[in-house]
Amino acid sequence: MKGWRLARVILIWAALALAIGAPIAIAAGSELLAWRGPVYILAGFAGIVALGLVLVQPLLIGGYLPGLSAYRGRRAHHWIGGALALAIVIHVAGLLITSPPDMIDALTYSSPTPFSPFGVTAMWAIFAVALLALLRRRLGLRPRTWRYVHMPLAIVIVAGSVVHCLLIEGTMETISKAALCALVLAATVKVMIDLQVWRKRRTLRGESIARQ
Amino acid sequence: MTAVVFNRRNLLAAGGSVLATGLLTSGVSGLLLPARASGLAPTESMSGGANNYRKGAPVVERIGKGGFWMSGTVRRAGDGAPLAGQRIQIWAHTVEGQEHEPQSHGATLTDKDGKFRLEMPQIIPIFGQPHGHLAYDSGEFKTVFLRPVMRSAKETSLEAHFVLQPA
């Protein structure tokens, strides 16, 4: 029984490592890299890593990753959220250095590329969540209020990131990219169903019922 | 005998009718304009078309080592007459350099049929799309920047067509 539990723990973590590691490894073998400068390459991989972190977030908060207590899962969710914001800053800054006019078009929603507005919208949603998370205590946001703010933004982040990524023709290989996107969507839908995020009152993993 | 008296009221009325006439004529000519251009409407610049443009790319036989063909036509708005000797500037992110680098830029002239064709290095995807840039910026006609996208990164040619209107 104990052996099976350990095997399950290893299997889940290995699957997560594969889901994120494989797309990165395959992209690292892309022939397009030969014609890109180091800053552009860094920017691209920051984007791929960011998508991987978007997968980790719902898994952590849903408690699907074994070996992490609810408390540790939450702490990790906070830190990974910060890392996600940082990855996006590197992604955008790197692209801005690589081709300023293209990045400015994207940021001003006047880009000819259909994927840009999705990415930029997801970026603002990520920054908004990160900022609100930092100020959450100072603003005195109750858990319920926080959830009402965070959930729509989380949906924007997931949907925006997935569409952004799928429409891009770049270093990511098609199948591993689609698989990662599918996992991101599946994890998000699952956590939202499991935690019943739209119910007005409920108990969330040991957290007391939202104060009235 | 009739005395023409200008007071404020008929002045306003006269002014109003002049204004109305002006609006009407401009409105009518506005309606007529598309009819006149029904032959061939001018090409609008594409968004992002001017990105990484470098003024005055030299006319060249070929950009870099070649292997990829950029071609198209240049015609006059309205009657669609081919425009010969027009200078078209071309640049892209290729296997030999990034978009903003000088070696990625070149120009060519249209032949007597208004056609142009310039060999350049293979275009590769940049910023998520395999695309090229073309510019008409010689002054005689209105400046146009195009940014055609390849259907697939594996293609070895790309077309862009200009319909120019007088500057």
pLDDT averages per 10-residue partition of chain B, 167 residues: 50 46 44 58 95 94 96 96 97 95 96 97 95 96 97 95 95
- Establish if B54 touches chain A: CB-CB under 8 angstroms: no
d(CA B111, CA B83): 8
Could you tell me the pLDDT band of residue A80, with boundaries at 50, 70 and 90? Answer: very high
- Establish if B126 touches chain A: CB-CB under 8 angstroms: yes
Q: Is the pLDDT confidence value at A212 over 50?
A: no
- Establish if B124 touches chain A: CB-CB under 8 angstroms: yes
Overall average pLDDT of the A175-180 stretch: 97
Name the residue facing B125 among A32, A95, A111 (closest C-beta). Answer: A32
pLDDT tens digits for range A126-145: 999 999 999 999 999 998 89
Token pair of B30 as six digits: 């506005």
How does DSSP classify residue A33?
G
CB contact under 8 A, B128 and A170: yes
Q: How many CB pairs under 8 A join A and B?
A: 53
Distance from CA of B16 to the nearest CA of A (A): 41
Which residue in chain A is spatially nearest to B129 when comparing CA positions?
A169
DSSP string across chain B:
-------HHHHHHHHHHHHHHHHHHHHHHHHHHHHHTTS-PPPPPPTTTTTT--TTPPB-SBSTT--EEEEEEEEETTT--B-TT-EEEEEE-BTTB-TTSGGGEEEEE--TTSEEEEEEPPB--BTTB-BEEEEE-SSSB--EEE--B-SSTT-SEEEEEEEE-B-
- Do B67 and B74 touch, CB atoms closer than 8 A? no
pLDDT tens digits for range A189-207: 999 999 877 666 555 544 4
d(CA B120, CA B134): 13
CB contact under 8 A, A101 and B130: no
pLDDT tens digits for range A61-75: 999 999 899 999 999
Burial class, A57, CB count within 10 angstroms (exposed 0-12 / middle 13-18 / buried 19+): buried
- Establish if A173 touches chain B: CB-CB under 8 angstroms: no
d(CA B17, CA A150): 60
Give residue B51's pLDDT: 95
| Phi (first) and psi of residue B35, to 5 degrees | -65, -40
d(CA A94, CA A113): 18
Q: Is the pLDDT confidence value at A85 over 60?
A: yes
Provide ipTM, 2 decimals: 0.82
